[in-house]
Structure 1
């Protein structure tokens, strides 16, 4: 009797990214995040005030903006621009390059195309979470500085003086006081950003032939990327907003003393469901703009740098 031959598993074709490719991913991610977050500074100022300032508790985005301009001048809407731009320069590069790196690693670990497609959700979640964890190590001290500048108007005149004062008076402990809540905020944010964007593209391309994909016009590609980014931005905002509220409270010094989990639980109980989602409207607007613009800029900058496209593991049917 002839020996039955097993059907070999088809290996997943994984691009072999070089160090130069990852450098391009890092630079593209850094630029798209610092530009987008820097441009959104006025919205973030209003959102943060609504979250942590009792005088703005019942304010809408429009009324809050008007109040800040009337009482403090238009320049107040740019408070925290320095730490925002620098913080997200580092965080964005680490996040986007890290996502490309870990997605590739996880695909290599599962070994074949069928398994990669079957476990693509876990791959997206794992890659986004790990990349964001390391990116937040770079972001946390600068985010703490930004919130101090926004919430305490006379804290410091700018980035360098604010960062120096925080480091001098609080040390590593205060600079990383918000690390746990920022992880609770940024990891769900990254999951919403990358995973939802991946599935939006999959939904669009699911029944599209390779010939059709290659013949798509520039405006169609732009529309697909923009729409996917906006939906991913809404998801990222909703998933991360409660922790964003708690992060603002922690960095302003609110809450009891004790361990960070205890402080977070007390603040969450005091805020209640409605309080945890205070300022969600303006943040959804901000995040939809952030995420969609980031993906558009990221692809454009990668193309300009001659970097290869990222690894795709979408289900085709």
Structure 2
């Protein structure tokens, strides 16, 4: 329990940030900004691993493992090649993250209000899928240019010359050539990631900490966020790996259709190719995203993410 001084300080802090009250327009705006900053910075930081990943997917014979792949890239194209496509990572995934986190919070509240007879998992699935559809539409043009820049050294230097060149060679369709496999990769990942995160947070508070989230310190809340975030990222990576391989094949014109790409890659390779690299990337990235995102929320006087918020608790009780 908080002391009298602690309660007073908490009240003052919440009054100071009143415009970020949960479920207000300011709250959703803060979630969008938090998602944009957390996703953009974390994806920028792991650009070298992303460069290696897409090259392994397109040319697995040449770029075998993590260490050998980095060695070949540096030897043939120089160390600067490891940061090729950084702008697409920062701006593309930043905008995607803003849409994904901001819209997820909005849809979660909307579905909880509308679907009174549905359990929490259904609400988490629907909310994350709805948010991800819009987020990937925003991401797709950036991803199309990024993959080509990373795997085709002479295609373009970055976004500024990559966008007009892609439009000149493939038209508007070129920016959305991979939208369906992008959805195929990110929709299952997002649905599993958000649902796993929410349930992991709830489980940790109930069985490990055995205290309400509101009664825990900021450090405790953010520690739970990191643990649940890593679990969610690892599970989502395995689920989404086949579609991730197909995305790289289509954007690099290694195949013209999803079916052709799947046949060329092979059934087993769909699940195993680039998986070690993606596990190295995605787990820490998702963890850092949730940590940065929740840090922004907590410092703004809001509770950390995950678990059953008041509205979802009321929904569950009404259906018992």
TM-score normalised by the chain length of structure 2:
0.84
Matched, 1:296 2:302: no
| 1:19 pairs with 2:14 | no
| 1:171-198 deviation digits (Å, cap 9, x = unpaired) | 2111110110100011112112211111
Q: How far is the alpha carbon of 1:220 from its aligned partner?
A: 3.5
* Corresponding residue number in structure 2 for 1:33: 39
The alpha-carbon deviation at position 269 of structure 1 amounts to: 2.0
Specify whether residues 209 and 189 from structure 1 end up closer, same or farther in structure 2 by C-alpha distance, changes over 3 A only. closer
Cα drift, residue 280 of structure 1? 0.3
1:79-102 CA distance string (max 9 Å, x none):
110111110111100000110011
**Partner Cα separation in structure 2 for residue 219 and residue 306 of structure 1:** 14
- Whole-Å separation in 1 of the counterparts to 2:22 and 2:213: 23
> Is the contact made by 1:25 and 1:307 (CA closer than 8 Å) also made in structure 2?
no
Question: What is the CA distance between 1:273 and its match in structure 2?
Answer: 2.5
| Runs of 5+ unmatched residues, structure 1 | 1-14, 257-262
Alignment CA distance shift 1:304-1:218 (3 Å): closer
Whether 2:152 is the aligned partner of 1:164: answer no
* Secondary structure of 1:56's aligned partner: coil
Distance change (3 Å), C-alpha of 1:213 and 1:26: closer
Task: Within 5 Å, give how 1:121-270 maps onto structure 2.
Answer: 121-207=121-207, 213-256=213-256, 263-270=257-264
- CA distance in 1 between counterparts of 2:259 and 2:89 reads 27
Aligned twin of 1:77? 82
- Confirm or deny: 8 A CA contact 1:53 1:151 kept in the other structure: no
Q: Which residue of 1 aligns with 2:10?
A: none
Q: 1:138: Cα distance to partner?
A: 0.4
Inter-partner Cα distance in structure 2 for 1:275 and 1:210: 43
Partners of 2:281 and 2:159 lie apart in 1 by 22
Q: Secondary structure at the match of 1:195?
A: helix
The count of residues paired between Structure 1 and Structure 2 equals 290
